[in-house]
Structure 1
């Protein structure tokens, strides 16, 4: 007897949209999560099914973003097959085209950032702030740099990651990623594994409530008017599982309907960043002026 397909595990049709898949995943996660009376094996099966379908949906959307009008989209493929398929695909997505620099690297008049640092993908590191620094915070930020380097920068050649920045609003940003004319501001936190409900303000886990760190990006948007800036809060699990904790949004807390940051676990953040940064109008461009200003804002 063959094992059930990811669609069957989540109870969705093969033509289900990403939104329908997310709703089905949250429902299945609630039903199978060990904290809520389910079994660990069933919960892991639900996680695997959602990862497979979300990878396929993200890559389908990623490619469709660069199709010419009237052209039928190609069949989807998993993230594990992504790089291999790109080497043989006759029409590459724009994000996978050769990286272009603005101004060009041979522009002698642009002296704010040299060519070597322009081509460098990761800038900065977790920085100590003040006389005392939390070792757990430094470790958390180092984990995030590794996550983004392996799962986002390797898919988007023009993406650049800058760490440890001062915020124009005061305070700090843990990480900022750019690709083309899109910018993602990412701050991090760590929570125990489990099921959390997010109402747009606080994360609820049973009777306990946790407020994600506030991310003000209005100053960043004003400072970089040419960029589309979005905020993300990465919630890392203490056990290292990228699918934990499970975060379920209330209906009125969806990021598209709220002013709060996107609150996501590691797997969700990787998926959303690949789509957000990779589907912009010119995702294969490195804006050297923007990058130079970001690096200048590091601690």
Structure 2
């Protein structure tokens, strides 16, 4: 256990929806087994105690959830990356790889490679649970394509911001998620390592897209990698790079990028027309990718589809993301 990343909930064998009573009961059972006086593992007992001290305190529990489990036991990036890499390799080993080397084998592997359009596969599988073991989350929650909703915050500009976020969410639900059954949209998350908020996060397989949006007037624009230029006017996109770096640190097993969907007042998905400086094309290779609605859909679908095991719903990743909703 000391080499594996487990959230406090997993240490106590609880779902994130556990009540205070559930936490107390689970702690007593786990502590009774792991206590050193009863021959238990001292390191395991420390993990159990730490988990209880956090989850039994409402304020600490809320802060822990919004930190995406960053303060959990064995939460170093190396240990998390190692654990999830093993999970990915385990899944790949059951999805067509034979481990041999021949022209025939290579051809079979290529044909059997899972695609983003395949039905969603849950990792770890619900069917692999031991008797009496609680799943990371209920199956209906894992199967839910959209989680959370934008939160009204502030006074000025709230209506326009909510309308803009709704357009982006609708675009994702109508044109991206139907093509990628494993894609899960989480709305209204706390930004990592700050007091800010994020509009949307879209995760599929081991790729995470942090998504913001902006509404601009009609006309042609140029993106220089930092701002949108419209004649003599400058429009700055949402500040998402810091959030992308924060998520990359928290989820080292995933490829994280930030995206801004630029909407036009006309409602035309192909507007505004955006000219890109060299090296700033929105293809997922940049820390921040800016595109109009039509190109946003195309490029985000490509970004998610080209990742490893794109039809996987990793319950560890999804559960921690859901915990970060405000």
TM over 0.5: yes
1:150-299 alignment runs, 5 A limit: 150-170=174-194, 171-215=196-240, 216=242, 217-254=244-281, 260-299=287-326
CA distance in 1, matches of 2:262, 2:224: 15
Displacement of 1:112 in angstroms is 3.5
Tell me what 2:166 maps to. Answer: 142
Displacement of 1:93 in angstroms is 5.6
Going from structure 1 to structure 2, the CA distance change for 1:243 and 1:256 (only over 3 Å counts) comes to closer
What do the CA deviations read for 1:238-274 (whole angstroms, capped 9, x no partner)?
1111011111111153457985510001001100111
Structure 1: gaps spanning 5 or more residues: 1-67, 74-89
| Secondary structure of 1:96's aligned partner | coil
Structure 1 contact 255–262 (Cα < 8 Å) conserved: yes
Displacement of 1:183 in angstroms is 0.7
CA distance in 2, matches of 1:181, 1:187: 20
| Secondary structure of 1:145's aligned partner | helix
Structure 2 contact 283–303 (Cα < 8 Å) conserved: no
TM-score, reference length from structure 2: 0.61
Tell me what 1:99 maps to. Answer: 120
Going from structure 1 to structure 2, the CA distance change for 1:144 and 1:281 (only over 3 Å counts) comes to same
1:33-72 alignment runs, 5 A limit: none
Going from structure 1 to structure 2, the CA distance change for 1:192 and 1:131 (only over 3 Å counts) comes to closer
Equivalent residue pairs, number: 215
What do the CA deviations read for 1:90-118 (whole angstroms, capped 9, x no partner)?
97862122211011124363443111110
Displacement of 1:129 in angstroms is 2.3
Displacement of 1:124 in angstroms is 0.8
Bigger radius of gyration, 1 or 2?
2
Structure 1 contact 161–176 (Cα < 8 Å) conserved: yes
Q: Which stretch of the first structure deviates more once superposed, 166-175 or 100-109?
A: 100-109
Tell me what 1:56 maps to. Answer: none
Structure 1 contact 152–274 (Cα < 8 Å) conserved: yes
Structure 2: gaps spanning 5 or more residues: 1-104
CA distance in 2, matches of 1:224, 1:264: 25
CA distance in 1, matches of 2:139, 2:279: 46
CA distance in 2, matches of 1:247, 1:69: 41
CA distance in 2, matches of 1:293, 1:156: 21
TM-score, reference length from structure 1: 0.66
